[in-house]
C-alpha cells in the first residue's frame, strides 16, 4: 500500500472545524446559501418547476388541437402559449437544468469542495429564478410574447408587435442569458482549475468533458443571441432599423445571429445529457466506458461542427444553392459524433452486464428515441426534403425526439441515478418503472403521429385546422399520448414526495457501486479529504478509497485557514497550485440578483426612471458582495498533506479569477465579433445606405484619430499604474486610475461627436444604426471598466490593494486593455471599412 | 299583404304535417350540407366543427324553438322554405336565400331538428 | 369548412413534389432499417450470452459503427439526393409570371403580361395551366410569410426586402390547397389559398375573363348592392374594376364571385358566407384588417352580398 498524505488518527477538532466552516445558514438565511449542494438543488428544483409549467402549456395546446376547429384556446391565447412553451422549455428549463446539474455534480465528481465562484452560482440561480418567474407571469396578465420562440422580425418589431409582449421576451431572455453565461464561466473555470490532484485531462470523467465543451459553446454561442436581442430591443425602443428592409436593415440578419446561437443551443442541451449517459452506462454495466478517447473526441467535434450548421434553419429563405450544399453536408456531418457515442455505449453494454434499473431504462429509452430523432435530423438536412417539411409538424416531431429523447430522458435517468448522493434514500424502483413506461409510451404516442401530420401538410404554430384536412385523428392520438406523459410526470412527483429527502447530513451512499468520486461519502463540505486520483474510475481501482477519504487520510482533511477552501490545480495535469479561500453565504449576492431582476422587469414595463433605483441597488450590492472576495495573502502557506505546501493566495495567470476574466473577455469579444458580422452583412445586402452611395460624408479622420489616441493613452496610464503598484507607490496608482478613468469615455465621445456632426442619425438607416451600435457596445464596456477602476481605487484607499494583493487591479487592467483593443478595432471598422469599400 | 298570405299558407300547410322531429330527411346529409355551405359563419350550430357564428341566432336547441326568426312557426315545411327563401318570408332579415333543392332543404331541416 | 382538397406532400402532382416524395420513401426505408438494426444491436448487447456478444465490446466497433458506417451512408445519401433533385434548382424559362405577395393574412396575386405589366389582379387563388411551368415571384407586404403548396412543391419564404422565385408545374388538373408555413402573427392559421390547375385553353379563357371589368348588375337588387358597397366605403380598401372602388389595402374583388373560397381559403364562397364575413370579419378571423360591418340593415347586407356573389 502506498503511503497516505496524512497520518491517522486525525486530531479530534479537525472534523468539527470543517463542519463549522461549511455549516449552511439557517432560518430565513437559507436563501443566502451559496454551497453547491444547496444552490445545485434549488437550481435543479426551479428548472423542474419550469419544466412542469411549460408542460402544462403543452397540454393546453394538445387539448386545443385534439379536435379540428376547436375553441378551447382562442387565437391570441394559443399564440402566447406556444411562444411561452418553446421559450420556457429552451431558456428556462433546458439550459438552466443542465447548468444546475453541473453546479450540483461537478465539484463532487472532481472532489472539489465547491465551484470556484460559489456566490456567482448563487447570483446566476437567483437572477434566473426571479427573472424567470416574472417572465412566466406575463402570461397570467395576457401580455406574454406571441412571436414564436425564435421571434422573427419584422413580426416582432415595433410596427407589428406594438405591445410589451415582445419586450418581455427580449429583456427577460436577454437577462436569463446573462445568468447562463455566468454559469458557463463558473463551469469552465471549475472544470479546468478545481480538480482532484492527479485527475489529469485524460482521467477526467466524460461528464466533466461534456460540461467543459458545453461551457465553451455557451461562451461562443450565447453572445450572438445577446447581441440580436439587444439589437431588436433597441429597434423597438428607439427605431434603429437593424431589421427593417426599407431602411437598409435585413430580417435575415436576425435569423443568422439567432441560429448561430440557436443550433449550437441544441448541442448545448444535448452534450451534458450525453455526459450523463456516459457516466450511467459504465456504472450500470459495471465496466469502464469503451472508447473513452473516441467519446471525448466526439464531444469536441460536436462542439466545433455545431457552429457550422446554423443555416439549415434557413433553407427555405431563398439563399444561394452553393451555401445550401455546404450547410447540408455540415448538418449531416454533425450526426457522426453522435453515432460514435451511441456505439461506444452499445459496446460498453456488451462488455459488461447491464443492470436494468430505472436509470438504465431511461438510458435505453433515450437511445431508441434519440436514434430516431437523429435519423429524421439527417432527413431534414437534405435541402429539398426540408423545403417540404420545414415549419411543419414533421419538424415539431423531429426536434421533440432529439430534445425530449436527447435531453429529458437522460435527465430523468440522471435524477434516478444521482439522487442517492443528495437524499437519505434513493427513489423508488417500482414507481420509477411506472414513470418510465408511461413516459416512453406516452412520448411516442404523442410525437410519432406528428411526423405524419407534417407530411400530410399540417404547418406548425396553427391554433386551428379545418376538419376536412384529415389531421384530426392523428391530433387526437397525440393528445392521448400527452395525457399518458402527464400521468408519468405525476408518478415521478409522487416518487419525489415520498422518497426525496435532501439536505441531510447523510445520503444513501454508493448504491450503484459507481467508480467516480461523486460517490465518496459526502457532507456539506463535500468529501472529508481530497483524494489523489490515478485512474478514471478511482472507486473501482482503489477499493479502500472511500474509507480512507472519509477517515481524512488524503489532502486537506480539515479547514486549516478557518475558511471554506478548495485546492486549485493546474489545468492539464491537475497539480495542486494554491489553496483557494472561498466566500460563504451572502445577503448582498441574493439582493443583487433580485435587484437585477426587478431592474429588468421595470425596463420591460417601461418604468424607465423608476428602474434606476433597482439598477443602482444591483450595482451597489454586487460591489458589496465582491468587497470580501479578494481575501489577500495574510495566511501563511498551508501543508495540505504529503508534503504539499500550498500558498493561500495567487494573482496573475495562475489565479482562478484571472481565468474567469479571460473567459469573460472571450464572451464580450464574441458579442463584438457578432456586431462586426452584422456590419459587414448589412453592407452586403444594402450597400445603397452606405456613405459611398448616399453621399453623406464620413467623419473627418481627426475624430477617430483623437479617439484612438485617448484610448491608447488610457491603456498606457493603467499599465503604468500597474508598475507603480508593484513598487507599492500607492498615490501614483490612485493618480493613474483617476487620470485613466475618463479617457475611454472621452474617446467614445469624440467618436460619436464626429459621426453626429456629419448629420448621421441612428434611426435613418441600417448603416447609421450599426455605426451607433458599435458606439453603444463600447459605451457599455466603458461604463463597466470605469466602475471597476473606481472600485479598485476604493480598495486602494481602504488599504486592500498592494504589491502582492493585486488580483483586483490585475483583472481590471486585463478588461481595460481589452476594452481599448475593442475600441480600436471598432474605430477601424467604422472608419476604415467604408473608405476601403467605398 | 301578399307576404302575409304566403306566411299564412305555409303555416296552414304545416298543420297537416307530422311532428317536427319526424321529418323524412337524412340528418347526416343535412349536416354535411351545413358544413359545406359554412352556415356556421353566422350561426352557432352544435355538432358542426367550427360553427360558432354570432351574426344570427344560435341554433342550439332548435328543435324546441317555437318561432323561426321570431315570426314564423317552427314547422318542417316552414323551415325548408326558410332556408331557401328567407328574404321572401322576412324581408328585413340578413339571411340570404340558399340554392338548396327540395331534398337538400329536407335534409338540412332534418339535421336542425336533431338539435334539442 | 371550404371544399376539401389535397394538401399533402405525399400526394404529389408536380415534378418538384414528386422528386421530394421519392426522396422521402427511400429515406424512410433506409431509416427504418437503421433504427431496427440499432435497437436489435442494443437488445443483443444486453441479452446475448457474454461470449457471443464479446465482439461488440471494442473500440473497433465504435469506429466502424460510429464513423465508417455513417460516413458511407451519409455520403451516398447526399450524392444521391443531389442527383435526384438536380432539376429542382435548375431554372426553366417559364413564360408565365405570377407575382404573389403575402399580406397579414391573405395572398395578393398579380398576373403579369409579356411586357411585365399587371394584367389580372386577384387574391387567394392562383390559376395555372396544366403541364406548363410558371414562375412565381414571391414577396411580402409586411412580415415574413412562406408560400407552400405541398402537392406541387416545397415551400419558399417571402421576406421583406427580398424577392424569391419559385418554379412550379402542375401535372394534372385539380385544385391544390396551400397554406402559409411561416408563423406570421395572429391569424397565421387562417391564411390558406388554392392553386387551380386547368387545361391550357381553359386557363386562357379564365385569364381573359378575369381581365374584364366587373359585370353590370343584372337587376335592381344587385344595383342596390353595388351602390351600398360604394356608399358604405368598401372602396377605400377594395378595388372592383369598372366601379369607383379603387382601394388597394384589401383584396381586389372584381371577380370575387368566381373564387373557390373567401377570407384566404377559410370559408366557402356563397351569399351567406359573404354576408357573414362582412358582418363579423373580426369574429371569424381575429385581428385581420377588415372591420366587422354591422352598420347596414339586414336587407342591405344581403344586397351587398348578392352583388359580390354576382361578380363572376
Q: Which residues of A touch C69 (CB under 8 A)?
A: 339
Mutation pick from A463, A467, A469, A470 vs chain B, by most beta carbons of B within 10 Å, is: A467
Mutation pick from C183, C192, C268 vs chain A, by most beta carbons of A within 10 Å, is: C183
Contact A69 B35 (CB under 8 A): no
Any chain C CB within 8 A of the CB of B38? Answer: yes
Angle at A680 between CA A177 and CA A155, to 5 degrees: 55
Q: Which residues of C touch A348 (CB under 8 A)?
A: 57
Q: How confident is the model at residue C201 (pLDDT cuts 50, 70, 90)?
A: very high
Contact B93 C298 (CB under 8 A): yes
Contact B50 A467 (CB under 8 A): yes
Nearest to B38 among C273, C297, C298 (CB): C273
Measured between alpha carbons, how far is residue A756 from residues A638, A697, C81, C305 in Å?
59, 11, 53, 58
Angle at A177 between CA A173 and CA A181, to 5 degrees: 175
**Count of CB contacts below 8 A, A vs C?**
258
Any chain C CB within 8 A of the CB of B54? Answer: yes
Nearest to A329 among C54, C78, C189 (CB): C78
Q: Which residues of C touch B41 (CB under 8 A)?
A: 267, 272-273, 276-277, 280, 284
Min distance A782 CA to chain C CA atoms (Å): 35
- What confidence tens digit (pLDDT) does each residue in C62-72 have? 999 999 999 99
Contact B42 C279 (CB under 8 A): yes
Residue A323 pLDDT: 82
Measured between alpha carbons, how far is residue A513 from residues A367, A500, A518 in Å?
23, 20, 11
Q: Are the C-beta atoms of residues A680 and A834 closer than 8 Å to each other?
A: no
In this structure, the strands spanning A638-641 and A644-646 are: antiparallel
Any chain C CB within 8 A of the CB of B36? Answer: yes
Any chain C CB within 8 A of the CB of B53? Answer: yes
Q: Are the C-beta atoms of residues A754 and A775 closer than 8 Å to each other?
A: no
Burial class (CB in 10 A: 0-12, 13-18, 19+), A821: middle
Quote helix, strand, coil % in chain B, to nearest 5: 50, 5, 45
Contact A155 C9 (CB under 8 A): no
DSSP A564: E
Residue B79 pLDDT: 94
Q: How confident is the model at residue C91 (pLDDT cuts 50, 70, 90)?
A: low
Contact A245 C162 (CB under 8 A): yes
Q: Are the C-beta atoms of residues C19 and C88 closer than 8 Å to each other?
A: yes
Contact A346 C54 (CB under 8 A): no
Q: Are the C-beta atoms of residues C94 and C133 closer than 8 Å to each other?
A: yes
- What confidence tens digit (pLDDT) does each residue in B59-107 have? 999 999 999 988 899 999 999 999 999 999 999 999 999 999 999 999 9
Residue of C nearest to A381 (CA): C78
Residue A838 pLDDT: 64
- What confidence tens digit (pLDDT) does each residue in A95-123 have? 999 999 999 999 999 999 999 999 999 99
Which secondary-structure segment (H or E) carries A158?
A: none
**Residue A68: strand, helix, or coil:** coil
**Residue A351: strand, helix, or coil:** helix
Residue of A nearest to B38 (CA): A466
**Count of CB contacts below 8 A, A vs B?**
12
Residue A234 pLDDT: 96
Cross-strand bridge partners of residue B72: B68
Burial B66-94 (b: 16+ CB within 10 A, else e): eebbeebebbbbbbbbbbbbbbebbeebb
- Residues sharing a CB contact under 8 Å with residue A607, sequence separation 6 or more, in sequence order: none
Residue of B nearest to A68 (CA): B49
Contact B49 A71 (CB under 8 A): no
Angle at A666 between CA A662 and CA A667, to 5 degrees: 120
Q: What backbone torsions phi and psi does residue A353 show, to the nearest 5 degrees?
A: -140, 110
**Residue B68: strand, helix, or coil:** strand
Q: Are the C-beta atoms of residues C237 and C281 closer than 8 Å to each other?
A: no
Q: How confident is the model at residue C1 (pLDDT cuts 50, 70, 90)?
A: very low
Q: Are the C-beta atoms of residues C129 and C197 closer than 8 Å to each other?
A: yes
Which secondary-structure segment (H or E) carries C224?
A: helix C220-231
Contact A346 C188 (CB under 8 A): no
Distance of CA A684 to the CA centre of its chain: 32
The span from the CA of A593 to the CA of A722, in Å, is: 32
Nearest to B52 among A67, A71, A466 (CB): A71
Q: Which residues of A touch C287 (CB under 8 A)?
A: 75-76
Contact A467 B52 (CB under 8 A): no
Measured between alpha carbons, how far is residue A263 from residues A329, B38, C66, C272, C286 in Å?
15, 43, 22, 49, 34
- How many other C-beta atoms lie within 10 A of the C-beta of residue C278? 23
Q: Which residues of B touch C189 (CB under 8 A)?
A: none
Any chain C CB within 8 A of the CB of A516? Answer: no
Chains linked to C by 3 or more Cβ pairs within 8 Å: A, B
Measured between alpha carbons, how far is residue A71 from residues A322, A763, B55 in Å?
45, 42, 18
List, as ranges, residues 69-128 from A with C-beta within 8 Å of B.
69, 71
Measured between alpha carbons, how far is residue A606 from residues A163, A168, A234, A237, A773 in Å?
11, 11, 13, 10, 21
**Residue B22 reports pLDDT greater than 80:** no
Mutation pick from C298, C305, C308, C309 vs chain B, by most beta carbons of B within 10 Å, is: C298
- The pTM of this model reads 0.94
Q: Which residues of C touch B39 (CB under 8 A)?
A: 272
Min distance B84 CA to chain C CA atoms (Å): 11
Q: What is the mean pLDDT of chain B?
A: 85
- Length of chain B equals 116
The span from the CA of A749 to the CA of A616, in Å, is: 23
Which secondary-structure segment (H or E) carries C122?
A: strand C118-123
Mean pLDDT, residues C262-268 taken together: 95
Chains linked to A by 3 or more Cβ pairs within 8 Å: B, C
In this structure, the strands spanning C96-103 and C134-140 are: parallel
**Residue A446: strand, helix, or coil:** helix
List, as ranges, residues 164-223 from C with C-beta within 8 Å of A.
164-165, 177, 179-190
- Residues sharing a CB contact under 8 Å with residue A612, sequence separation 6 or more, in sequence order: none
The span from the CA of A810 to the CA of C23, in Å, is: 60
Residue B15 pLDDT: 46
Nearest to C38 among A154, A316, A371 (CB): A371
Q: Are the C-beta atoms of residues A721 and A740 closer than 8 Å to each other?
A: yes
**Residue C157: strand, helix, or coil:** strand
Alpha helices per DSSP H over A695-832:
702-726, 730-740, 742-757, 766-797, 807-827
Residue A178 pLDDT: 86
Q: Are the C-beta atoms of residues C109 and C124 closer than 8 Å to each other?
A: yes
Nearest to C302 among B41, B50, B87 (CB): B87
Contact C65 A152 (CB under 8 A): no
Residue of C nearest to A77 (CA): C186
Cell of A645: 505546501
Mutation pick from A69, A462, A465 vs chain B, by most beta carbons of B within 10 Å, is: A69
- Give the residues of chain A that fall short of pLDDT 50: 1
Min distance C213 CA to chain A CA atoms (Å): 33
Q: Which residues of B touch A68 (CB under 8 A)?
A: 49-50
Angle at A423 between CA A420 and CA A428, to 5 degrees: 65
Alpha helices per DSSP H over A307-423:
321-333, 335-351, 358-381, 383-389, 393-403, 409-422
Min distance C78 CA to chain B CA atoms (Å): 44
Any chain A CB within 8 A of the CB of C24? Answer: yes
Q: Are the C-beta atoms of residues C158 and C140 closer than 8 Å to each other?
A: yes
Contact B49 A68 (CB under 8 A): yes
Cell 457578432 found at: A674
Amino acid at each position: 500500500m502506498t503511503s497516505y498524505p496524512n497520518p491517522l488518527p486525525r486530531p479530534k477538532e479537525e472534523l468539527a472545524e470543517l463542519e463549522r466552516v461549511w455549516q449552511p445558514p439557517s432560518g430565513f438565511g437559507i436563501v443566502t446559501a451559496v454551497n453547491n449542494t444547496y444552490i445545485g438543488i434549488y437550481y435543479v428544483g426551479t428548472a423542474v418547476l419550469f419544466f412542469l409549467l411549460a408542460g402544462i402549456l403543452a397540454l393546453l395546446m394538445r387539448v386545443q388541437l385534439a379536435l379540428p376547429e376547436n375553441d378551447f384556446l382562442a387565437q391570441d391565447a394559443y399564440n402566447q402559449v406556444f411562444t411561452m412553451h418553446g421559450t420556457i422549455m429552451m431558456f428556462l428549463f433546458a439550459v438552466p437544468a443542465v447548468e444546475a446539474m453541473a453546479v450540483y455534480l461537478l465539484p463532487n465528481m472532481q472532489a472539489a469542495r465547491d465551484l470556484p465562484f460559489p456566490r456567482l452560482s448563487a447570483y446566476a440561480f437567483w437572477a434566473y429564478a426571479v427573472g424567470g418567474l416574472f417572465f412566466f407571469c406575463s402570461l397570467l396578465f395576457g401580455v406574454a410574447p406571441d412571436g414564436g420562440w425564435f421571434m422573427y422580425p419584422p413580426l416582432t418589431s415595433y410596427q407589428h408587435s406594438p405591445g410589451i409582449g415582445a419586450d418581455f421576451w427580449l429583456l427577460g431572455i436577454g437577462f436569463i442569458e446573462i445568468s447562463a453565461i455566468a454559469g458557463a464561466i463558473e463551469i469552465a473555470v471549475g472544470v479546468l482549475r478545481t480538480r482532484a490532484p492527479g485527475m489529469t485531462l485524460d482521467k477526467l470523467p466524460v461528464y466533466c468533458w461534456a460540461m467543459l465543451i458545453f461551457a465553451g459553446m455557451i461562451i461562443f454561442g450565447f453572445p450572438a443571441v445577446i447581441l440580436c436581442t439587444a439589437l431588436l430591443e433597441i429597434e423597438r425602443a428607439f427605431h434603429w432599423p437593424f431589421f427593417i428592409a426599407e431602411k437598409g436593415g435585413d430580417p435575415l440578419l436576425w435569423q443568422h445571429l439567432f441560429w448561430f446561437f440557436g443550433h449550437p443551443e441544441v448541442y448545448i442541451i444535448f452534450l451534458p445529457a450525453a455526459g450523463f449517459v456516459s457516466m450511467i452506462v459504465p456504472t450500470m454495466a459495471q465496466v469502464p466506458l469503451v472508447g473513452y478517447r473516441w467519446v471525448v473526441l466526439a464531444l469536441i467535434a460536436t462542439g466545433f461542427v455545431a457552429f457550422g450548421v446554423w443555416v439549415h434553419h434557413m433553407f427555405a429563405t431563398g439563399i444561394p444553392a452553393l451555401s445550401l450544399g455546404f450547410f447540408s453536408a455540415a448538418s449531416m456531418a454533425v450526426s457522426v459524433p453522435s453515432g460514435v457515442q451511441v456505439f461506444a455505449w452499445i459496446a460498453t453494454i456488451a462488455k459488461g452486464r447491464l443492470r436494468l434499473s430505472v436509470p438504465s431504462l431511461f438510458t435505453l429509452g433515450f437511445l431508441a428515441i434519440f436514434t430516431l430523432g437523429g435519423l429524421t435530423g439527417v432527413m431534414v438536412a437534405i435541402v429539398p426534403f426540408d423545403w417540404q417539411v420545414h415549419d411543419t409538424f414533421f419538424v415539431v416531431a423531429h426536434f421533440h425526439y432529439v430534445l425530449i429523447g436527447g435531453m429529458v430522458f437522460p435527465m430523468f435517468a440522471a435524477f434516478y441515478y444521482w439522487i442517492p448522493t443528495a437524499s437519505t434514500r434513493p427513489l423508488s424502483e417500482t414507481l420509477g418503472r411506472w414513470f418510465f413506461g408511461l413516459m416512453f409510451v406516452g412520448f411516442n404516442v404523442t410525437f410519432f403521429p406528428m411526423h405524419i401530420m407534417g407530411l400530410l401538410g399540417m404547418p406548425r404554430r396553427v391554433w386551428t385546422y379545418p376538419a376536412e384536412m384529415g389531421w384530426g385523428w392523428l391530433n387526437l392520438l397525440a393528445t392521448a399520448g400527452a395525457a399518458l406523459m402527464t400521468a408519468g410526470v405525476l408518478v415521478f412527483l409522487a416518487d419525489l414526495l415520498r422518497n426525496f429527502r435532501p439536505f441531510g447530513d447523510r445520503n444513501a451512499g454508493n448504491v450503484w457501486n459507481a467508480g467516480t468520486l461523486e460517490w465518496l461519502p459526502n457532507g456539506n463540505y463535500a468529501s472529508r479529504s481530497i483524494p489523489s486520483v490515478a485512474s478514471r474510475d478511482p472507486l473501482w481501482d482503489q477499493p479502500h478509497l472511500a474509507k480512507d477519504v472519509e477517515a481524512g487520510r488524503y489532502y486537506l482533511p480539515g479547514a486549516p485557514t478557518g475558511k471554506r477552501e478548495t485546492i486549485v490545480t493546474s489545468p492539464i495535469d491537475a497539480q495542486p497550485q494554491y489553496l483557494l479561500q472561498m466566500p460563504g453565504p451572502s445577503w448582498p449576492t441574493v439582493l443583487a440578483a433580485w435587484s437585477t431582476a426587478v431592474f429588468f422587469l421595470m425596463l420591460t414595463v417601461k418604468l424607465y426612471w423608476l428602474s434606476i433605483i433597482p439598477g443602482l441597488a444591483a450595482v451597489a450590492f454586487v460591489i458589496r458582495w465582491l468587497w470580501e472576495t479578494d481575501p489577500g495573502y495574510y495566511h501563511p502557506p498551508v501543508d495540505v498533506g504529503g508534503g504539499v505546501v500550498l500558498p493561500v493566495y495567487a494573482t496573475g495567470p495562475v489565479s482562478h479569477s484571472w481565468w474567469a476574466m479571460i473567459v469573460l473577455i472571450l464572451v464580450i469579444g464574441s458579442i463584438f465579433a457578432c456586431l462586426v458580422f452584422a456590419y459587414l452583412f448589412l453592407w452586403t445586402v444594402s450597400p445603397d445606405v452606405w456613405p459611398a452611395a448616399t453621399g453623406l460624408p464620413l467623419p473627418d479622420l481627426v475624430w477617430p484619430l483623437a479617439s484612438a489616441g485617448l484610448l491608447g493613452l488610457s491603456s498606457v496610464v493603467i499599465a503604468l499604474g500597474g508598475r507603480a503598484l508593484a513598487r507599492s507607490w500607492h498615490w501614483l496608482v490612485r493618480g493613474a486610475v483617476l487620470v485613466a478613468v475618463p479617457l475611454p469615455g472621452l474617446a467614445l465621445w469624440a467618436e460619436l461627436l464626429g459621426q453626429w456632426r456629419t448629420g448621421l442619425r441612428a434611426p435613418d438607416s441600417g448603416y447609421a444604426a450599426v455605426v451607433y451600435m458599435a458606439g453603444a457596445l463600447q459605451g457599455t464596456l466603458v461604463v463597466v471598466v470605469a466602475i471597476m477602476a473606481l472600485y479598485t481605487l476604493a480598495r486602494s484607499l481602504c488599504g486592500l490593494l498592494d504589491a502582492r494583493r493585486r488580483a483586483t487591479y490585475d483583472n481590471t487592467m486585463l478588461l481595460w486593455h481589452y476594452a481599448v483593443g475593442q475600441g480600436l478595432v471598432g474605430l477601424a471598422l467604422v472608419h476604415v471599412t467604408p473608405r476601403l469599400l467605398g | 299583404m301578399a307576404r302575409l298570405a304566403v306566411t299564412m299558407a305555409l303555416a296552414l300547410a304545416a298543420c297537416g304535417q307530422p311532428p317536427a322531429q319526424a321529418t323524412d330527411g337524412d340528418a347526416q346529409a343535412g349536416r354535411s350540407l351545413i358544413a359545406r355551405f359554412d352556415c356556421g359563419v353566422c350561426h352557432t350550430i352544435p355538432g358542426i366543427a367550427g360553427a360558432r357564428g354570432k351574426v344570427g341566432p344560435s341554433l342550439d336547441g332548435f328543435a324546441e324553438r317555437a318561432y323561426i326568426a321570431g315570426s314564423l312557426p317552427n314547422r318542417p315545411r316552414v323551415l325548408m322554405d326558410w332556408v331557401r327563401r328567407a328574404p321572401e318570408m322576412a324581408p328585413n332579415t340578413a339571411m340570404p336565400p340558399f340554392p338548396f333543392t327540395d331534398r337538400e332543404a329536407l335534409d338540412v331541416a332534418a339535421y336542425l331538428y336533431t338539435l334539442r | 369548412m371550404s371544399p376539401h382538397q389535397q394538401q399533402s406532400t405525399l400526394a404529389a402532382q408536380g415534378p418538384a413534389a414528386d422528386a421530394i416524395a421519392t426522396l422521402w420513401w427511400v429515406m424512410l426505408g433506409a431509416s427504418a432499417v437503421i433504427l431496427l438494426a440499432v435497437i436489435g444491436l442494443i437488445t443483443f448487447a444486453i441479452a446475448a450470452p457474454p461470449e457471443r456478444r464479446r465482439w461488440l465490446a471494442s473500440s473497433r466497433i465504435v469506429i466502424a459503427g460510429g464513423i465508417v458506417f455513417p460516413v458511407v451512408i451519409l455520403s451516398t445519401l447526399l450524392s444521391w439526393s443531389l442527383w435526384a433533385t438536380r432539376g429542382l434548382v435548375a431554372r426553366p424559362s417559364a413564360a408565365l409570371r405570377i407575382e404573389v405577395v403575402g399580406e397579414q393574412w391573405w395572398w395578393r396575386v398579380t398576373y403579369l403580361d409579356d411586357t411585365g405589366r399587371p394584367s389580372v389582379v386577384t387574391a387567394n387563388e392562383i390559376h395555372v395551366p396544366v403541364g406548363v411551368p410558371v414562375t412565381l415571384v414571391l414577396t411580402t407586404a409586411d412580415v415574413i410569410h412562406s408560400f407552400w403548396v405541398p402537392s406541387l412543391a416545397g415551400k419558399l419564404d417571402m421576406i421583406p426586402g427580398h424577392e424569391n422565385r419559385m418554379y412550379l408545374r402542375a401535372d394534372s388538373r385539380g385544385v391544390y390547397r396551400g397554406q402559409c408555413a411561416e408563423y406570421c402573427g395572429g391569424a397565421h392559421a387562417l391564411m390558406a389559398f388554392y392553386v387551380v390547375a386547368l387545361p391550357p385553353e381553359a386557363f386562357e379563357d379564365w385569364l381573359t375573363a378575369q381581365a374584364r371589368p366587373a359585370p353590370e348588375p343584372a337587376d335592381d337588387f344587385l344595383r342596390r348592392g353595388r351602390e351600398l358597397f360604394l356608399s358604405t366605403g368598401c372602396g377605400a380598401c377594395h378595388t372592383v374594376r369598372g366601379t369607383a372602388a379603387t382601394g388597394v389595402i384589401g383584396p381586389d374583388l372584381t371577380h370575387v364571385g368566381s373564387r373557390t373560397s373567401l377570407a384566404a381559403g377559410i370559408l366557402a364562397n356563397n351569399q351567406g358566407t359573404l354576408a357573414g364575413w362582412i358582418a363579423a370579419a373580426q369574429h371569424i378571423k381575429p385581428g385581420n384588417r377588415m372591420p366587422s360591418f354591422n352598420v347596414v340593415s339586414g336587407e342591405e347586407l344581403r344586397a351587398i352580398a348578392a352583388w359580390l356573389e354576382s361578380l363572376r
